[in-house]
Amino acid sequence: MMLVVVCNKLPNFLSVDETLVGAMGHGSRSRRRDEAEGDDDASDAAREDARERQREHKHRQRRRKTERRHAAVNEILSKIAPPSRASFTSLEDTPAWRDGNPIEWSSMGPSCDPASMANDGNEATMRGDDANKGASTTAAAAAQPVVNLRAMRKRWQVESFAVVLRELERERAARDDADAMPPMRVVDFGAGSGNLILPLAKRFPDVRFTAVEMKRRSAEILERRAAAAGLTNVDVVVDMIEKTTFGFDVGVALHACGNATDFTIARCLAAAAAFAVSPCCIGKLKFSLAGGSSFSATNKDWTAKGDGEEHGNGGGDGETQVVCPAITHPRSKWMSSQLAGPGDFAALAQAADTGHGDGANADAITDLGERAKRNVELDRVEAAREAGYAVESLRLIRAPDAPPNKSDLLVGVPAVRAGALERLRVP
């Protein structure tokens, strides 16, 4: 039998079959795509769930680590016996403050008012970044400051130092040889753009002020502000605190970071000068413990330029230039005798940098930070006493309105001049 194939039917047959196959294939791909998208959604959800579990795990790890650290600090603090004078007196409670606020801000002028620089509004113009430098500086100097809480804090800091200078000036004027003495010289170590030194220079026109600042840009702003205010009793030195060698009568430092405060006190002790310092950034003492500066574990000259960097290594050859012997911690024999080693002091310094606590245990964390900070400052106080100084540990004006790690004021004079601090004590 011969099979006869009708050829003209084949295209129709195939076209139908292809249509069916195409329809079936399209449906399968759709299902596969939909299923794949569903799998992707499920995978995304699974991955997000895994990430959330990982975040929670890391959070628990950090919390347990923090709890262990706090427990260790509490253990260290429990073993420290306070020195004979461990109180931090509120400056408002002293007889010196009862004489009245030494600063009249309404007559200070914007150029000398730290409130003018408190809100980042005038720094660029005072620096002279725009093309019309002279006019912009004049405009910035004349602009009235925005007096918010941050600005008020800066004013309270200045008022605190002004009270101390008023007492030191009073004691100096009472000396038998006062008439033959040259004007009192006050050095502001780490002066920045002048928020402390300029209002003090305006308030005490007969005192000679010197600003020591390692950042040239900040020093230039200070000079512009002083010129705009017409001050003639202010000099500016671009240098490291550790490298200065000139003599002076009083050294001040407002929030000189880390061991910059310690270097300030050391310079004052070497010059037999009085000091008034309000420390901050205690956590940066970790660099000091490593033999470095307030900014790194390397103790170098940050005013010099090297290798094209603004703050180089002190020489064009890229070699690190050590500018002074390392500051060691603890500073006092009193503290050294009560700690097991440098690790204990490092733990205290880290805890002392706590501005405020967070979470359910916020109050306890804040209290721990305050106690650690108090002992770090007492270490500085006792080191000065051991060096033959009379020292008072105070609290800045309106200290409760400031972060607890930035509200202390340490004032010292050679022991033979202890009377200068009499009115800075609560009777």
Residue-level pLDDT at 131 = 43
Judged by average pLDDT, the poorest of 29-43, 117-131, 227-241 is 117-131
Contact present, 184 and 210 (Cβ < 8 Å): no
- Of the pLDDT bands very low, low, confident and very high (cuts 50, 70, 90), residue 307 is very low
DSSP 83-120: -S----EEGGGSHHHHT--S--GGGT-GGG-GGGGTTS
Model confidence pLDDT, tens digit, residues 276-303: 999 999 989 988 888 888 878 877 777 7
Model confidence pLDDT, tens digit, residues 145-164: 778 899 999 999 999 999 99
Contact present, 122 and 152 (Cβ < 8 Å): no
Judged by average pLDDT, the poorest of 211-225, 266-280, 304-318, 361-375 is 304-318
3-state SS class at 138: helix
CA distance 362 to 109: 40
Judged against a pLDDT cut of 60, whether residue 3 lies above it is answered with no
Judged against a pLDDT cut of 70, whether residue 7 lies above it is answered with no
CA distance 239 to 258: 17
Contact present, 196 and 171 (Cβ < 8 Å): no
Residue 315 DSSP code: S
Output 24 or 145, whichever has higher pLDDT. Answer: 145
**Residue range 263-271: average pLDDT?**
96
- With a CB cutoff of 8 Å and minimum separation 6, the contacts of 403 are 355, 356
Between β-strands 89-90 and 274-280, what pairing exists: parallel, antiparallel or unpaired? unpaired
Which amino acid belongs to residue 225? R
Output 393 or 145, whichever has higher pLDDT. Answer: 393
- Of the pLDDT bands very low, low, confident and very high (cuts 50, 70, 90), residue 117 is confident
Model confidence pLDDT, tens digit, residues 346-366: 999 999 988 666 666 788 888
Give me the half-sphere count of Cα atoms (radius 13 Å) on the Cβ side of residue 347: 20
CA distance 77 to 371: 8
Judged against a pLDDT cut of 50, whether residue 12 lies above it is answered with no
Give me the half-sphere count of Cα atoms (radius 13 Å) on the Cβ side of residue 327: 27
- With a CB cutoff of 8 Å and minimum separation 6, the contacts of 212 are 187, 188, 189, 190, 191, 237, 239, 241, 244
Judged against a pLDDT cut of 70, whether residue 214 lies above it is answered with yes
CA distance 210 to 245: 13
First to last CA, the chain: 135
- Of the pLDDT bands very low, low, confident and very high (cuts 50, 70, 90), residue 27 is low
Model confidence pLDDT, tens digit, residues 215-262: 999 999 999 999 999 999 999 999 999 889 999 999 999 999 999 999
DSSP 329-380: SS-SHHHHTT-SSHHHHHHHHHHHT-----STTHHHHHHHHHHHHHHHHHHH
Judged against a pLDDT cut of 60, whether residue 137 lies above it is answered with no
CA distance 261 to 411: 12
Judged against a pLDDT cut of 70, whether residue 35 lies above it is answered with no
Model confidence pLDDT, tens digit, residues 58-83: 877 877 877 888 899 999 999 999 99
Between β-strands 408-414 and 389-395, what pairing exists: parallel, antiparallel or unpaired? antiparallel
User: Encoding tokens for residue 413?
Assistant: 């004079």
- Would you tell me how many other CB atoms lie within 10 Å of the CB of residue 383? 23
Contact present, 201 and 233 (Cβ < 8 Å): yes
